Amino acid sequence: MLMSKKGLGLELSSDGLSLARVAGGKGLRLEAGLSLPFPPGTLQLSRREPNVVNPQAFVAKVREAHLRLLTKESTVSVSLPDATGRVVLLDLEARFKNREEGLDIIRWKLKKSLPFDISTVHLDYQILEQKDNGAVSLLVSLISRPVVTQYEELLIEAGLEPKYLDFTSFNLYRLFSPRLEMSDNGAFVTFYRGSMTVLIFYGGVLSFYRSKETVGDEQNLYREVNSSFLVYSDRHPGQTVSEVFCMGGAFDAEGFRSLVAEASGLEPVLLDPERMVSLDPGLGLDRGALHALTGSLGAAARSLLT
C-alpha cells in the first residue's frame, strides 16, 4: 500500500495561530487541526520591526498547539500576514542567466522605489511569464530580515522547523487552486481575518495584486474591492475579467459574495474550504473551526508539493 504524504501547516496572525496536519493523495484530507488565541499584545504587525512583542507567550502557544496536535511531524510551512511584507509585480526587459543574477537585477530595479534599504530585506521571486521578446514578468516577495528571522528563531525554539514562509493570501490561493486554475481570466477576492486581498489573472498569469489590512465596515470594504477592479482596468485596458471567485468568513460568506458581485459587476463563485478538504472520521470540527484553519490548510498544501 502506498503511504500518503503528510504536511503540517501553521498560520500566524495578530490574534492567534492555527495548526493543521493534512494528508495528500486524491484530495486534501485533514487529519488534525486546532486554533489558539495569543494573549493580547503578543504580536504587533509591522513591515520594519520584529513582530513578536512577547516572545515567551508566542513560543508557549506554538508549543502548546504542536503538543495538542499529537503529531511527530515538526517540519512546517507557515502563513504570515500580508501586512508583514510587500508584494511587487515586476516586468524586466531581459532574462537573466541564473537565480542570483535575477536577485541582483531585482534589487537594483527596486532600490529607488521602496521606502527602505533593500539590503535589509529578504527577497524571493517567481517567474510568472517569459515573453517572446525576451522580457519576463515576476512575482517578487519582500520581507524585512529582522521580521522573518525573529519568526524563524522563535518557531525553532518552540520545536518546529519552518521550511516555507509565504504570505497568507498566496496560501489561500493555493488551497483553492484546483478550482481557480480552471479560469484563465479570473479574479480571486478574499476577506479573511479583517484583511481584503484581490488577485487578478489574465491568460493564467497573475497581473494584479492588492492587499489591505483592517478595511473596517462594509461600506469601506465595498469601496476597496470596487477600487481594486477600477485600478486593474485602468492599468490593463482591454484585459477583461471574465470570472470572479470569492471567499469570506464562515458565517458571512454569502453577504461578502453579494458585496463582491456589486463591486465587480459579475456574479462571483463562492469558494468554501469545506469543499476542498475531507475530514478524518471522528474529527469533530464545526464550520467555524474548519474555516479558522483555512490559512494553515493552504500552508500545509504547500508542504505536500515537494
Q: What is the pLDDT of residue 1?
A: 35
User: Would you say how long the chain is, in residues?
Assistant: 306
Query: Would you state the pLDDT for residue 177?
Result: 95
Please list the ranges in the chain whose pLDDT falls under 70. Answer: 1-4, 25, 115, 306
Q: Judging by DSSP bridges, how do beta strands 269-270 and 136-144 pair with one another?
A: unpaired
- The string of pLDDT tens digits covering residues 170-222 is 999 999 999 999 999 999 999 999 999 999 999 999 999 999 987 778 999 99
Cβ burial 39-51 (10 Å sphere, 16+ → b, else e): eeebbebebeebb
E strands, the chain, in order: 6-12, 16-23, 28-37, 75-80, 85-92, 121-130, 136-144, 161-167, 186-192, 195-202, 205-213, 243-247, 269-270, 277-279
pLDDT at 4: 63
State the pLDDT at residue 3: 47
What's the CA gap between 176 and 19, in Å, rounded? 18
